[in-house]
Structure 1
């Protein structure tokens, strides 16, 4: 099969197409023919070595995390799926990757594809959907009437998280450029800050939660909008000691992450707020609940561009520019649009 692999750390120029054997599946896995693969920022960060201390890879490694496709073979312990089923899944932080003609997918990571979505739309969902779900539902336990700040509302995470927060009954604040204000409002954003004209803390007040999605000082400066008892869930770090413990890291890494996160935790406590770092995990049961919202059209996919498989590196480079409105997806080849 054809696959896009990372040969060595260093950046996107270290990615190359290669012919590999089809993955051998374990008893609890399925072999899925990939029809489309969603791209995420972590897919261009990993080749740079940015996550090497957290998730060292055995190189060469097939890149990519999100997929939608059709089951062609099931392991002996798989009970919820059969050959011919259309599925979508995140295989992030697992041995294989999604930018390949076939992928091994654990049954526990997959869900049936919503019938009203094509493969491109379905492939755009897993990581942003699971990240939003685990941040808003699990960590924040967002409730009706609360206010959540989701910066970069027109990006991949933002376009999904805004919709999920509105489904939870929350008031949503976000940032975007003037050209994307209409988009984020159609997704449900209540308070929109044009970041080119205003600082967040000049406009927003009394928020119950922040979803940290931007690097640099943006997270610290946004703490000023919080009310006492609020929660901060960061997707971009710094990682904290709880994360190190959850991954079974050694004592040294726990100390390092404690030091890295000390400043933001201290600043959060000054606002009587709780800080935590979220590293998304694959979860087929959560993805099935997300799929139900998509099937009911309570949430809709937002697609920016679709690249052919042969242009996957260009797709990653485009995503890295940070201008995508919604998700960037790779189409693996001629495939059915639905089923």
Structure 2
């Protein structure tokens, strides 16, 4: 089978499609034929070597976290799925390997694909959707009447975060470029700030929650826009950021938090229900597996604003 691997850390040139044996499943696993896998910023932070403390340094490594596909084999201990089921899910966040023709997973890592969405859309959902759920419901505990600022609001996570924050009753200010502004409005943002025309540091409004989805808004700037007991959340973890946030929160009423994605089966089921109902899952770009280097080059440099999907 085909699988995307890298044998050294570096830019997108280190990733390549290789022939590998099809995984052998245990009694507790399922073999999934992958139809589509999505691209996430965490992918390139890992293959560039920026996350070694969390992902480890052992090579070679696979790439890709979330996927959608069809169950082709089930182990004797599997009870919730059967051969032929269409499913979506994710592998270990720092493990990778979803960009492959087949993956071996446990039942807890997948959910049935909603009939209302395509494989491409389903593959776009686990990482970004679970991140948005965790941001809105856990880290920020966004509720009715909360004033929320989403910086980088039209990326993969942002598009779900806008919708979820609105469902919780918040008033959402979305920060996006000129091209992304219409999308933010369509998804429900109450106010859209075009960062190419307005410096958000000049905003007079103060927020209960600021979520930085671009990894470009530093806490020193963000805290001036927070209410006295507001919360700032960064979505791309780093060892330094984790340490700084821990010590900061010991002494300040304004909290600084960092998203560390914690996938759960319950979270996947929640996303499936939302997707079956009315959650919008916009896909910006679709790539073939053979174009994986181009895919990472374009997405990592910001040329793709929404979700990008690789079709196998």
Question: Normalization by structure 2: what TM-score?
Answer: 0.93
Aligned position for 1:309: 289
Aligned position for 1:184: 184
Query: Does structure 2 conserve the Cα–Cα contact (< 8 Å) formed by 1:303 and 1:325?
Result: no
Distance 1:133 1:212 in 2: 15
Q: Deviations over 1:31-86 (max 9, x none)?
A: 10000001011112211101111111532122101100001112232221111111
Aligned position for 1:277: 258
Distance 1:176 1:217, change over 3 A: closer
Distance 1:66 1:204, change over 3 A: farther
Moved over 6 A (4+): none
Distance 2:58 2:122 in 1: 28
Alignment of 1:88-107 (within 5 A): 88-93=88-93, 95-107=95-107
Query: Does structure 1 conserve the Cα–Cα contact (< 8 Å) formed by 2:248 and 2:255?
Result: no
Aligned position for 1:66: 66
**Structure 2, unaligned runs of 5 or more:** none
Distance 1:57 1:30 in 2: 27
SS at match of 2:52: coil
Aligned position for 1:326: 306
Q: Deviations over 1:274-302 (max 9, x none)?
A: 222121122222011111111111x1101
Query: Does structure 1 conserve the Cα–Cα contact (< 8 Å) formed by 2:64 and 2:99?
Result: yes
Aligned position for 1:251: none
CA displacement at 1:26 relative to structure 2: 3.0
Distance 1:265 1:213 in 2: 20
Aligned position for 2:35: 35
Query: Does structure 2 conserve the Cα–Cα contact (< 8 Å) formed by 1:239 and 1:277?
Result: no
Question: Normalization by structure 1: what TM-score?
Answer: 0.86
Query: Does structure 1 conserve the Cα–Cα contact (< 8 Å) formed by 2:245 and 2:257?
Result: no
Query: Does structure 2 conserve the Cα–Cα contact (< 8 Å) formed by 1:96 and 1:104?
Result: no
SS at match of 2:32: strand
Aligned-residue Cα RMSD (Å) equals 2.0
Distance 1:39 1:55 in 2: 17
Aligned residues: 312
Q: Deviations over 1:132-188 (max 9, x none)?
A: 111111222211111211111121111111111111111111211123211110011
Aligned position for 2:223: 223
Q: Which residue among 265, 270, 282 is the counterpart of 1:289?
A: 270
CA displacement at 1:117 relative to structure 2: 0.5
Aligned position for 1:85: 85
